[in-house]
Amino acid sequence: MKPAAGTMTATDWRFTNPFFWETEGPQPAEGKRPSRGPVVIHAASRAGWPHPEGKPHNLCELFFNSVRAHPNNACLGYRPVVGGMPQPYEWLTYEQVGELVEAVASGLAAGAGLDKPGARVGVYGANSREWMIAMQACNRQNACCVPLYDTLGEAAVLHALDHSDVTVVFASTEKLPALVKPLQSLKGRVRMVVWWGAGDADAANALAAHGVQVWEWQQLIEAGRAHPRPGISAAATDLCTIMYTSGTTGKPKGVMLTHGNLLAVVAGQLLGMDKLGEIIEQKGAPQRFTPDDVMISYLPLAHIFDRALEELFMAKGARIGYWRGSIAGLIDDIQALRPTLFIGVPRVFDKVYAGVQERLAGSSIVRRLIFRLAMFFKQRALMRGLRWDEACPLADRVVFCKVKEKLGGRVRLMISGGAPLARHVEEFLKVAMCTPVVQGYGLSETCGSSFVALPAPAYTATVGSPLPLLEARLESVPEMGYDALAAPPRGELLIRGPVVFQGYYRDPAATREVLDADGWFHTGDIGEWTPEGSLRIVDRKKALFKLAQGEYIAPEMIEGVLRKVVQQVFVHGEPGASALVTVAVPADATLREAADAGQSAAEACAAPATRAAVLAALQAAGRQAGLQGFELPQRVHLEPELWSPENGWLTPTFKFRRDPLRRRYQAAIDAIGAGVPAYWQELLSTPEPESGVFGARARSASDAAVLRRKGHLKEQDALIDFLLQMHSTHTSLEVMLKMDRWIVEHRQDPRRSRLKRMVPCVGSFFTPLRLVDAFKEYDEFFALSRRRYVPPNFAELRHVLNIAQVHASAQGLQLITFDADGTLYADGCHMQHDNEMIEHIVALLRSNVHVAIVTAAGYPGQAERFEQRVEGLLAAFRHLHLPAEVTDRFHIMGGQCSYLLRVVGPAKALRFVPDDEWKTPVMAAWSHADIAALLQQAEALLLETAARLRLPVQVIRKERAVGVVPQVPTVYEVLEELAITVQNQMIDTGLPFCAFNGGNDVFVDVGNKSFGLEALMKYLGFQPSGVLHVGDRFTASGNDKATRDCCSILWVANPEETDFFLKLLLNDLRRARAQPYIE
């Protein structure tokens, strides 16, 4: 045996694969058999296939070995829910789980007569400790476990029960109703149903009416304890499980796996993890699998991927925590459990990636720039060979830490499997998760785990080398142009070894199609060996494919259903995609209607209305035929020309030539996959209709596009603009040196300073600023000084100013105020319990800093409305039992400057502060008549401007404000234009005012934030030098300009930037005051 060429000659692990070992050379083509590439294995299996510790003969022995070795280790965890609130995880030890397994197994023997080997037992429900205990009880009784995977549909459940001759079913209570019809059809062949959960009396009675014994979980346990029975030992060759998976026709096939198969995958995974850990540990980060590891179980146990991993964890004596079964609560479960290994399918990681991208898309250009620069520099460091925790520690602490905290903060290894992970998602995870990320490959027929990649950049978008449990080779596919002996070698992936299944249950023909006489399993996937000895999946030999969530799709079956409403339809799913797209030739009637309206077939197919109608018809046909949600098309491209053998798109037998069709429509598939951007392009280019809601939306969007092109809405700052101009003749460091000197001079004599002459509207500096130090700090992260031809941009200079202001304000900070929407939470939202700012606000209050929210929201006499806005913060006050001396430092200034509230009592309720205690004489002098006149003028101007923008609105009048709410969908820029126009055109008001865009509306308020800030500072007895205001906009006029003249400011673009600067501020406070605080 020898290492494959070029894989074991270097010492740098980033560009070699020490696990790739060649055992047999290539084979030329012989007869009908194509040529085959060399046989490769994991280097650790050169001396033979591994065995689990103690060499158990079956999975029951494997589990009870762990029970004896780790009796007091936590084994299975769950979260009880009390009063609708999830509690901390509670755990059963290995000893307790072992006792329950014996009781359930004895109950099966005593109550259901399972006292002979080979009985079939179904398990139906979400992952839970009961699911795992039932499965282990099957192992103890040498019964074959048949998982029922409900997303395959009711017909698939019936087929699995019927096909495998199940006699007993374990089910969670929510699955009982779904069992009634299948069990009625089986006419008594299922003798017993054992359920766990809250119970469903109607469903249980319906099952009993058909002659089925219905037992509650605890009832079975008590029966087993009362009548203990010995286990039935299984041989390694005995059938352990039949897992049903979709076939090429859509009919589920039963994959037969023995105890020996699953023992082999556990042993191979353990050895593979240890070897992977040794490689990583050579770089200083131990990654060995230990009994201290924790995983969250949320991927279906009916899939072999999760089943094999849980067997692995239990073999090691590690912990498995089960989710509550709700996607909405998954993140909360993860954060409560704090797993050390996180295993997922691409659909899960796609959601993580999409969630971050969605938040970035809603943030400012600056925020996006910071994140992308952090991604770029860390990715570049990883490519240079730095370890993930050394590549860019500052970016990890400031930018990426929140991403990792979403998964509990303890994850030390992430594994993706079940389907190909998109390259951009994998690259994102490797950078943003601050932990190694590896991608694997496997199928139900190979016990789920076959290949795993090294966590290094060279292995991105590959699935690695074989685990020490199988042999692998590539076989040429001449009809597709793939040659296993070429460079690079490409062909169908073949797998052989102790993990390969025994065949499809009662389907010898299907078995012969994939298992050859030499024991090789033909996967149907086209693979390519990279120079590093890593496998890359590049194509599919079969039409069957997986979506990102790991679901198999049988396109021919789906096409047969959808052809009912169109002439022809081609179903396609890209690797890593989460939904199907279709290319269809519309029905004759659709094209005739278009022709009658004067449209050609091509014009009709390109029309958005036609596409929407056809997509709706396709989805309706799919639902009527019982297709599952993931089998329904989510996008459609319409083709006016029929496919035929004559034009080359069909075979002579009228089957699709799938690869040519995919290549022909790849551009369209990519475009319709984008979805939303394409929609907006259409919307903005749509000619204006004469009337209607859609017309109003299209015109508003078009107007906004014009505004963006004009740059009319760009926020400006004279000082930053001046700094930008200076960069045309100075380096960044020279600019900051001069500014440092000029700011000192300006603070000494503001009227005669050079800075005042150059920037007349510069205003005051309430604290000294050290811009040189701030620039160096920022430059260390973003390398601005290393740019030869690109000076810092507006946003980067804003960040430098913010950093300098944070450091300066920390020295004597007494009060920090926030502009609510846009700084603490997104526009239109409230401060909920999971808001990340809460811990920062509590930390500031505990550090003897007063905190106030200065918001435009105004609710006269309704303190409870303000409480709703900060519900999560007040709940934290109560939960932490903060004393009054701490919560007394928190206030809300509402309606810009109209209402002041404080926290009172143990309930931490908000109460109004009487006006005469805090309002300034100027504010107290504003008359009701002047207020009414101002609001009347504002209302007229709002309506006039909205009409010019062709935006239908509804007027809302308040005590000290007036606003308008759009009555049709619009975009942010239209509202911004409305606010700016009103702010600039209001004249002779007699009173101060401010117009602002609230994200969902536009309001004009009496007064502005500067009055609110000044009144608050006077009420608390603070000077401007001890106050810092955090705002999300500081334009050159109106509310923003007035605010910046009151005190020092931070200009942030979104809550994420607030989070960044508050962490910096709190760090400064700790050092400046030499006192701890609790976050």
For residue range 736-758, what is the model confidence (pLDDT) as tens digits?
Answer: 999 999 999 999 888 888 888 88
pLDDT greater than 70 at residue 703: no
Query: pLDDT tens across 96-134, in order?
Result: 999 999 999 999 999 898 889 999 999 999 999 999 999
| Helices 718-726 and 732-748, packing angle to 10 deg | 140
pLDDT at residue 248, rounded to an integer? 40
More confident residue, 616 or 261: 261
Cα-flanking dihedrals φ and ψ of residue 323, to 5°? -75, 170
Hey, what amino acid is at 967? Q
Query: pLDDT tens across 482-493, in order?
Result: 899 998 999 999
pLDDT greater than 70 at residue 710: no
Name the one residue in this structure whose structure tokens are 């499809």: 504
More confident residue, 641 or 339: 339
pLDDT at residue 654, rounded to an integer? 55
pLDDT at residue 396, rounded to an integer? 85
- Average pLDDT over every residue of 261-273: 95
pLDDT at residue 97, rounded to an integer? 98
* Percent of the chain residues past pLDDT 90, beyond the cut: 42
pLDDT greater than 80 at residue 630: no
pLDDT at residue 487, rounded to an integer? 87
pLDDT at residue 827, rounded to an integer? 57
What is the rounded (10 degree) CA torsion for 291, 295, 300, 303?
-50
Separation CA 229–CA 141 (nearest Å): 10
Residue 577 pLDDT class (50, 70, 90 cuts): low
In order, the DSSP letters of 1007-1055 are: S-HHHHHHHHHHHHT--GGGEEEEES---SSHHHHHHHTTSEEEE-SSH
Q: Which of 365-369, 467-471, 657-661 has the highest mean pLDDT?
A: 467-471
Hey, what amino acid is at 170? F
More confident residue, 519 or 895: 519
Nearest to 768 by CA among 782, 748, 797: 748
Separation CA 151–CA 254 (nearest Å): 16
pLDDT at residue 760, rounded to an integer? 81
| Helices 304-316 and 59-69, packing angle to 10 deg | 40
Q: Strands, E, within 341-486: which ranges?
A: 341-344, 413-416, 437-441, 451-452, 465-466, 471-475
- Average pLDDT over every residue of 700-717: 40
pLDDT at residue 707, rounded to an integer? 35
Kindly report the number of other CB atoms within 10 A of residue 395's CB atom.
Answer: 24
pLDDT greater than 50 at residue 712: no
pLDDT at residue 196, rounded to an integer? 95
Domain coordinates in residue numbering, the chain: 59-262, 554-674, 718-809, 815-919+1011-1073, 928-1003
pLDDT greater than 90 at residue 36: yes
Domain 815-919+1011-1073 sits in CATH 3.40.50.1000: yes
- Average pLDDT over every residue of 673-693: 35
DSSP secondary structure code for residue 340 in this structure: S
- Average pLDDT over every residue of 868-889: 93
Kindly report the number of other CB atoms within 10 A of residue 793's CB atom.
Answer: 15
Domain pair 554-674 / 815-919+1011-1073, same fold: no
pLDDT greater than 80 at residue 498: yes
Q: How far is CA 1066 from CA 389, 471, 874, in A?
A: 24, 56, 21
pLDDT at residue 706, rounded to an integer? 34
- Average pLDDT over every residue of 56-80: 97
pLDDT greater than 70 at residue 689: no
- Average pLDDT over every residue of 380-398: 80
pLDDT at residue 580, rounded to an integer? 78
Contact by Cβ (8 Å): 224, 102: yes
At 852, is the secondary structure helix, strand, or coil? strand
Query: pLDDT tens across 613-629, in order?
Result: 898 889 888 887 777 77
pLDDT greater than 60 at residue 954: yes
More confident residue, 419 or 53: 53
Strand-strand pairing, 81-82 and 85-86: antiparallel
Contact by Cβ (8 Å): 858, 961: yes
Residue 295 pLDDT class (50, 70, 90 cuts): very high
pLDDT at residue 857, rounded to an integer? 82
Residues in contact with 777: Cβ distance below 8 Å, sequence separation at least 6, in sequence order: 803
pLDDT greater than 90 at residue 903: yes
More confident residue, 437 or 597: 437
Mean pLDDT of the chain: 84
Least confident among 265-269, 473-477, 827-831, 844-848: 827-831
Nearest to 525 by CA among 468, 445, 579: 445
Looking at domain 554-674, which of 3.30.365.10, 3.40.50.300, 3.30.300.30, 1.10.10.10 is its CATH number? 3.30.300.30
Query: pLDDT tens across 169-221, in order?
Result: 999 998 999 899 999 899 889 999 999 998 677 888 889 888 899 999 999 99
**Class at the top of the CATH hierarchy for domain 59-262:** alpha beta
